[in-house]
Amino acid sequence: MAVRTIEVRERVMERNDALAGEIRATLARAGVVAFNLVSSPGSGKTSLLERTLDVVGEELDVAVVTGDVQTQNDADRLARRTARLVQAVVTGGACHLDALQVRTALEVLDLEQVRLLFVENVGNLVCPASWDLGESAKIVVFSVTEGEDKPLKYPKMFRQSRYAVLNKIDLLPHLRFDLDRAVANAREVNPELRFFFTSALTGEGLPEWCDFLREQVRGGVPV
């Protein structure tokens, strides 16, 4: 029985990876840079996106697909910040988005009108690491309230991500959180990780983050 279970899982993953490849090709043809935001619940993905939409939503033609286990709260929050379409995917229990859900969400977006796409994944530091959604890169958001050891405890997520956003830095004065140790832990599992330090509450670090997004859109889809 155990062997059969593994085979089924492998087939599911193969199908997902094939679909993700198709999505990646579609986005590349349309010239859309796509970031898959992954994090534990409540790190501040939606808050960061709210700020991002305020600053560069129109400038960079940003579209968003949000994934939630239940409710479309995040999509509703983001739709208040932009006239552009925000697509909600309710996974109905699943702990991650998959490529089929993203492809379905993209069917109603006019990709010719989009230059930067964010997919806000389900808040979970485990499952989303294994699922390719056709993104240009995964960005792991983690916050100073989560503890410096998260990169070591959930290494796959940090290894699969090309960028990391350390959010809620406004709270640093109130916490025993060693920022240097957190960065060192993350670099231990992924030496290539590029960091941003933000507060979605105060806006600190947002200019650097938005400049990075501008650079990425200017540079086009990475190959």
Q: Does 200 bind ligand GTP (CB under 6 A)?
A: yes
CA distance 37 to 119: 6
The C-alpha atoms of residue 220 and residue 194 are separated, in whole angstroms, by 18
Out of Mg ion, ligand GTP, none, what residue 201 binds, judged by CB under 5 to 8 A for its kind, is: ligand GTP
Out of 167, 185, 190, 216, the only residue in the binding site for ligand GTP (CB under 6 A) is 167
CA of residue 220 relative to chain centroid, distance = 18
3 state SS of 92: coil
Give the count of beta carbons closer than 10 Å to the beta carbon of residue 110.
11
What mask, x for binding ligand GTP by CB under 6 A, covers residues 99 to 138?
------------------------x---------------
Whether residue 164 contacts residue 37, with contact meaning beta carbons closer than 8 Å, is answered with: no
146 binds ligand GTP (CB under 6 A): no
Q: Which is nearer to Mg ion, 24 or 45 (CB)?
A: 45
* Tokens encoding 88: 């909600």
Residue 167 contact, options Mg ion, ligand GTP, none, Cβ 5-8 Å cut-off depending on partner type: ligand GTP
Stretch 22-51 residues interacting with ligand GTP (CB under 6 A): 39, 41-47
The secondary structure element, H or E, covering residue 16 is: helix 2-30
**Partner that binds at residue 101, options Mg ion, ligand GTP, none, CB closer than 5 to 8 Å by kind:** none
Binding to ligand GTP by residue 67, rule CB under 6 A? Answer: no
Please state the closest distance from residue 10 (CB atom) to ligand GTP, in A. 29
Tokens linked to 137: 């890169």
205, interface contact from ligand GTP, Mg ion, none, CB < 5-8 Å by kind: none
Nearest-approach distance from CB 47 to Mg ion, in angstroms: 8
| Binding at 54: pick from Mg ion, ligand GTP, none (beta carbon under 5-8 Å per type) | none
CA dist., res. 68 & res. 47, Å (int): 15
106 binds, among Mg ion, ligand GTP, none (CB under 5 to 8 A by kind): none
Q: Which residues pair with residue 87 across a beta bridge?
A: 65
Q: Interface residues with Mg ion (CB under 5 A)? A: 45-46, 74
Residues 6+ apart with CB under 8 A from 210: 52, 55, 56
The residue with tokens 């806006």 is 203
Cβ closer to Mg ion: 16 or 46? 46
Phi/psi at 108 (5° precision): -95, 0
Binding site for ligand GTP (CB under 6 A): 39, 41-47, 74, 123, 167-168, 170-171, 199-201
